[in-house]
Amino acid sequence: MGTNKIGKGYANGKIILLGEHSVVYHQPSIAIPFPAAQINVTVTQQNEPTTIHCDFYHGLLDEMPELLESLKATIQTCLERLGQPDACLTITIESQIPAERGMGSSAAVAVATTRALYDFFDYDLNQADLLAIVDISEKIAHGNPSGLDALMTSSSIPYYYIKGQPFEPINLKLTAYLVVADTGITGQTREAVQSIAAKLTSADGANYQEKINTLGKLASDGRKALESNKPILLGKLMTKVHTLLTELDVSNDALNRLVTTALNEGALGAKLTGGGRGGCMIALASNQSDALNIAAALEAAGAKNTWLYQMNGDTHE
Ligand code: MEV
């Protein structure tokens, strides 16, 4: 193998429209790939033991060493499967996806790294193997992953997903805009997932289970809204989901402030997206001009970054 060879892999960010957290408990969910924020990985050969360059994790690893552990597990799993356990490589990861913001960065790192390693060694990689490899690292990063992040960061179309069942492509008919806003606060998906698990086994567990079931029902209603172009219905479902996620204690003040700001500015609905307790929120707008006004109001209310996502169209930062 020539020493100048380069392996390349990429992954999209993801946005969960409906069903975060409840998807862990086999309830329906809907998510879309988010190509406005991507991860790119390159792999080259070197003479020293493998080194990883991933600057965007700096500052996070003291609090979340599992992010690096999960990345190392991805690399080790791939090299073993590729029959190259002792390969000496330089693995460089460049990310536009802010880490731990509910945009699927840990799954995207694993997807892009796996693709780059398979590309480097000229091996075909099917979707089932990719998802199985990413699941190993997501278990380290997030404890009990549903598989939704792995699916969405490796896809290019929206999916309806129930853990353990085949994923179903959404026949997207909705024409509307999503505004995505980053609180700038690191969310901790692992902690949020664990806190819901603890609630479900508490004395009040049946009450929390009811909320999880309702979240699933709202996601399956959301599919109908997306497949029959009913933005007002989708907006209402999103806001209901935010209320339930707040009751499950995975929102926070910054997310609630941005959700209220978006609704006051005329959004059809708004909610946190992903693990919560920081990270990102999304708001639904009927048209581009409303979306721009909502994005401006969110930035004035403290959002660190906003993106516009045209359902059935392009994405702009
Ligand atoms: C995290 O992006 C989404 C959660 O539903 C966890 C999971 O699906 O594994 C909170």
Show me where the domains of the chain are located.
Answer: 6-167, 171-312
Q: Alpha helix (H) ranges present in the chain?
A: 66-81, 105-120, 127-142, 148-153, 189-200, 205-227, 231-247, 253-264, 288-300
pLDDT at residue 312 in the model: 78
Q: Is the CB of 105 under 6 A from ligand 1?
A: no
Asked whether the predicted pLDDT for residue 41 surpasses 80, the reply is yes
Find out whether the beta carbon of 215 lies less than 6 Å from any atom of ligand 1. Answer: no
Residue 314's pLDDT is: 52
Q: What is the pLDDT of residue 315?
A: 55
Mean pLDDT throughout 236-256?
98
| Strand partners for 8 | 42
Reported as a single tens digit per residue, the pLDDT across 162-218 is 999 999 999 999 999 999 999 999 988 889 999 999 999 999 999 999 999 999 999
In the chain, the percentage of residues whose pLDDT exceeds 90 is: 85
- Residue 317 has a pLDDT of 52
Token output for 46? 């070197």
User: Amino acid identity of 183?
Assistant: T
Fold of the domain spanning 171-312: Alpha-Beta Plaits (3.30.70)
> Quick one: pLDDT at residue 64?
79
The mean pLDDT value for 75-91 works out to 97
Nearest residue by C-alpha to atom 9 in ligand 1:
145
Phi, psi of 177 (to 5 degrees): -115, 140
Nearest residue (by CA) to ligand 1, atom 2, is 274
Expressed in angstroms and rounded, the spacing between residue 187 Cα and the centre of ligand 1 is 12
Tell me, what's the pLDDT at 316? 53
Q: Does domain 6-167 have CATH number 3.30.70.1730?
A: no
| Higher-confidence position of 116 and 141 | 116
